[in-house]
Structure 1
Amino acid sequence: METKKVARYIADNHLLAINEKVIVALSGGADSVALLLMLQELGYACEAAHCNFHLRGSESDRDETFVRQLCQERQVKLHITHFDTKHYASQKHISIEMAARELRYEWFETIRKQLQATAIAVAHHADDSVETFLLNLLRGTGINGLRGIRPRNGHIIRPLLCLKRNDILHYLTIRSQSYVTDSTNLQDEYTRNKIRLRLLPFMEEINPSVKDSIMDTAHHLDEAACFYHHAIEEARQRVSTDNGKTIDITALMREPSPEALLFELLSPIGVNATQLHDIYKSLNGQAGKVFDTPEWQIVKDRTHLLVEPRQKNTRPPQLQMEECELTPDFIIPRDKSTACFDADKLSQPFTIRLWQQGDSFVPFGMKGRKKVSDYLTDRKFSLAAKGRQWVLCTGNEIVWLIDERTDNRFRIGPETKRVLIIKSIKEETSE
């Protein structure tokens, strides 16, 4: 009965065609063993993948030995990898649980490509989905976190989401199939285990069918999320430009629920709920507030929120200089990455630095001095872009706002004999 239910679930969710190769993530636990057996029974071409994270001493080695024997008995090709999970977690400054997740899914995708497999099948079941629902609810989440575990995420498929843990154990008992038990699943040190071992049993005392109720709720929210995301996408187009990197504050505040929309716009780049609330409160405040995530910077400008990658390369631009005689046929380049000066009006060596408060220059075509800060504001530079503006100086005087505007005092004129041509060279930077 369980196998037929899984077959219907696979078909209903378009997870896998019968002639496609699938790699089964095989830990040796009851759910992963049942997944392998069911997919074989249904006629799928299966290979197995096992990760040894070396987190549980001899128990980790026991699991690997069991998986090897099982695959030999089932005539399934097995792929095994070993990870120094604690070292990886320390390097990345993340939890052991998160480290193990990153390592295994990166490796799964690597071998999937090598083997040209259609999908990686993992053994999440209905109880896992219920636990994820409650875990996200406890941490705080949007509608996506209350949809339960998805049947498919890219090349990762979850054929057992239609079964509960007791269904899986019943299936294995009928087939007299052994499996291994992770002893950490019986401890309540981790939040998920506390939910499984303490919270859910307590909830079942109040409502014996609470798992079914939660799964039904997650299903309803999943359907509602389809409408929700359609509305969010339409609103995104109304309030943002430049692939979401510029958010019009006035347009945002006209939306029915601006804070919810802002959450959907910014959560994908790592903005958490606390930051989101602070950003939302800043919308009516003065310009200049900056909010950071590990990879992005959100700047509250005058009329917009500016979402920009954090600059990882702060090296000054590379400049090429060439001096030549001024001839009647000389044509001054018009692109902003090239600047031309009267060589005799300049004294070397030059220096390159980021502009500073109090800096001023005489913009090309003007006679009076102007503060660099005022110039950049008039040019509608964002605060983040202002912070990236480099200047070329001779002595204490600014010669060029690089890639933007030269100083009028050093321009080519009727008396010019020699021309200094300076070109900035763009470097490839990884954002």
Structure 2
Amino acid sequence: MKIEDIFHNTINEYGMIQSGDGIVVGFSGGPDSTALVHLLYRFKEHYNIRLVCAHLNHKFRPGDAEEDAKYVQAFCRERGIRCIVECEDVPRMAAREGLSPEQAGRRARYDLFNRVMQGEGFNKIAVAHNRDDQVETVLMRLIRGAGVEGLGGIKPVRETIIRPLLEVPRPMIEEYCKEHRLNPVTDKTNLSPVYFRNRIRLELLPYLRDNYNSNIDRAVLGAARVLRWENDFISGAARDEFSRLAEEQGTGRLEFSAEKLLELHTAVLWRVLRMAVEHLLGDANNLELVHIEKLYALLEKGETGKRINLPRGIVAGVEYGRFFVARQPHPAGGIEETYRLAVPGSTSIHEADGVIEAKIFSMEDYKRERNTADDRRAFLDLAKTGRNLVVTGRKKGDRFNPLGMAGTKKLKDFFIDQKVPRNKRDLVPIVRSGRDIIWIAGYRIDEKYKVTADTRQVLGLEFRQF
């Protein structure tokens, strides 16, 4: 089967593309993404789609990275494809936020893809994962102890993200690039055994093929496909049972009949327990297998008055046949972490029990949205704020220029004027651009960053508490 056939079959099987779609293509310049851009370009009339490419210089490989960007721009220019190139100091970001280089790189890339998608008014992101990537991912997750969901591997479609090459072997992609004289760039870091994925590719898989199963790739892919089906079934059953059994008792508390929960199949029950925490917090970050095990053990024992504490202020317990999961008010303290604000996207501020959602608006859209502005929403000039924003708590000596005022004011004095209770001041999220405060969430933006007649794009921020 030719690469074009697999490409079309994958798109059709998973309903990846609909007529009129606007697609942002992640384009590194390597063989996989080069083939993906070329195929989408060749068949854009067939699918009636609009394309824009997005490339991120991660600053991992000085010199080579700049050459990659030039290749990407030239490739797109020759074909009349719009291309957006940005630079992000990912090594610095990884060190600052305690992330691995792979995690930081992935976050920075998808931040860019989402920004471009929203800014262009598009609706899909295409990335170039291939069949070999799928095999490597499943083995990595198996080694790390993933459950059914993780062992299903990379999903062909996840929300706005599509992967049209997911069933194409890497050698076929490389042959396609040669056949069409695309001359993609080579990322030498892919040959370094420093990275976990590279060790799987360069060391483990060849060993398994030579010594255990020459068809290991096919075996892993077959198992992953079955696990994806089973995961979809279990997830659907769990959602149905959660809707049937969960009872909201005021803000931040869910209750269940302990007896009815224990009637569920264990696989479904564990998902329901996870969903309860996710429902209260908005996500299940930092919730690990050991925490679900503790919830299950608590439920199974059924001792009235018994309670356990989980990360991020979650408490669970049993009271006379009722099982509850609740969010505790955050203890007095303050916002201690520095959060990198996803622009666009949602960023959970755990200490404040809330989330900041960032959106990018054209001036036309802003004119419609501004009528909905209130204390919890703010609109700022994106060109002035930039996208490299962080959220912190207040800091000693903080000053800013409150909107509508002449000159700066101490943040402490501003809080006093606004009658913010002393015990809540350290829990107010402060959005910053570099050293500048741009928004006191829930209160006021800085005068310097307001929207004016010269503004071209608007950053909309909204702070919502759980």
TM range (shorter): 0.5 to 0.7
**Partner SS for 2:51:** strand
Query: How big is each residue's C-alpha offset from its partner over 1:100-125, in whole Å with a ceiling of 9 and x where there is no partner?
Result: 22222122111111111231110011
Preserved contact between residue 147 and residue 221 of structure 1 (Cα < 8 Å):
yes
Query: How big is each residue's C-alpha offset from its partner over 1:292-346, in whole Å with a ceiling of 9 and x where there is no partner?
Result: 334x51333434232326627779xxxxxxxxxxxxxxxxxxxxxxxxxxxxxxx
Whole-angstrom distance in 1 between the partners of 2:328 and 2:168: 43
Q: Identify the residue that residue 291 of structure 1 maps to in structure 2.
A: 309
Specify whether residues 163 and 244 from structure 1 end up closer, same or farther in structure 2 by C-alpha distance, changes over 3 A only.
farther
Specify whether residues 213 and 66 from structure 1 end up closer, same or farther in structure 2 by C-alpha distance, changes over 3 A only.
same
Whole-angstrom distance in 2 between the partners of 1:118 and 1:262: 31
Query: How big is each residue's C-alpha offset from its partner over 1:378-400, in whole Å with a ceiling of 9 and x where there is no partner?
Result: xxxxxxxxxx9xxxxxxxxxxxx
Q: Identify the residue that residue 304 of structure 1 maps to in structure 2.
A: 323
Q: Identify the residue that residue 17 of structure 1 maps to in structure 2.
A: 18
Q: Identify the residue that residue 231 of structure 2 maps to in structure 1.
A: 225
Specify whether residues 219 and 88 from structure 1 end up closer, same or farther in structure 2 by C-alpha distance, changes over 3 A only.
same
Q: Identity over the aligned pairs, expressed in percent? A: 25
Specify whether residues 240 and 183 from structure 1 end up closer, same or farther in structure 2 by C-alpha distance, changes over 3 A only.
same
Residue type of the alignment partner of 1:307: A
Q: Identify the residue that residue 465 of structure 2 maps to in structure 1.
A: 430
Following TM superposition, by how much is the alpha carbon of 1:87 offset from its aligned partner in structure 2, in angstroms? 3.2
Query: How big is each residue's C-alpha offset from its partner over 1:383-419, in whole Å with a ceiling of 9 and x where there is no partner?
Result: xxxxx9xxxxxxxxxxxxxxxxxxxxxxxxxxxxxxx
Whole-angstrom distance in 1 between the partners of 2:58 and 2:50: 26
- Unmatched segments (≥5 aa) in structure 1: 316-387, 389-427
Q: Identify the residue that residue 298 of structure 2 maps to in structure 1.
A: 282
Q: Identify the residue that residue 375 of structure 1 maps to in structure 2.
A: none
Whole-angstrom distance in 1 between the partners of 2:273 and 2:198: 29
Q: Identify the residue that residue 213 of structure 2 maps to in structure 1.
A: 207
Q: In the alignment, is residue 256 of structure 1 matched against residue 265 of structure 2?
A: yes
Farther off after superposition, 171-180 or 234-243: 234-243
**Partner SS for 2:55:** strand
Following TM superposition, by how much is the alpha carbon of 1:62 offset from its aligned partner in structure 2, in angstroms? 2.1
Q: Identify the residue that residue 381 of structure 1 maps to in structure 2.
A: none
Equivalent of 2:193, from 188, 197, 213?
Answer: 188
Give matches, 1:22-171, under 5 Å.
Answer: 22-43=23-44, 44-171=49-176
Query: How big is each residue's C-alpha offset from its partner over 1:26-57, in whole Å with a ceiling of 9 and x where there is no partner?
Result: 00111000000111111243221001111222
- Unmatched segments (≥5 aa) in structure 2: 335-423, 425-462
Whole-angstrom distance in 1 between the partners of 2:55 and 2:61: 15
Root-mean-square deviation (Å): 2.7
Preserved contact between residue 93 and residue 104 of structure 2 (Cα < 8 Å):
yes
Preserved contact between residue 24 and residue 53 of structure 2 (Cα < 8 Å):
yes
Specify whether residues 312 and 172 from structure 1 end up closer, same or farther in structure 2 by C-alpha distance, changes over 3 A only.
farther
Whole-angstrom distance in 2 between the partners of 1:429 and 1:30: 42
Whole-angstrom distance in 1 between the partners of 2:332 and 2:134: 42
Aligned residues: 319
Following TM superposition, by how much is the alpha carbon of 1:59 offset from its aligned partner in structure 2, in angstroms? 2.2
**Partner SS for 2:60:** coil
Preserved contact between residue 312 and residue 430 of structure 1 (Cα < 8 Å):
no
Specify whether residues 309 and 212 from structure 1 end up closer, same or farther in structure 2 by C-alpha distance, changes over 3 A only.
farther
Residue type of the alignment partner of 2:238: I
Preserved contact between residue 232 and residue 264 of structure 1 (Cα < 8 Å):
no
Specify whether residues 7 and 18 from structure 1 end up closer, same or farther in structure 2 by C-alpha distance, changes over 3 A only.
farther
Whole-angstrom distance in 1 between the partners of 2:332 and 2:162: 38
Preserved contact between residue 242 and residue 272 of structure 2 (Cα < 8 Å):
no
- TM-score norm. by structure 2 comes to 0.63
Specify whether residues 293 and 62 from structure 1 end up closer, same or farther in structure 2 by C-alpha distance, changes over 3 A only.
farther
**Partner SS for 2:53:** strand
Following TM superposition, by how much is the alpha carbon of 1:252 offset from its aligned partner in structure 2, in angstroms? 2.2
- Name which one, 1 or 2, has greater alpha-carbon Rg: 1
Specify whether residues 55 and 167 from structure 1 end up closer, same or farther in structure 2 by C-alpha distance, changes over 3 A only.
same
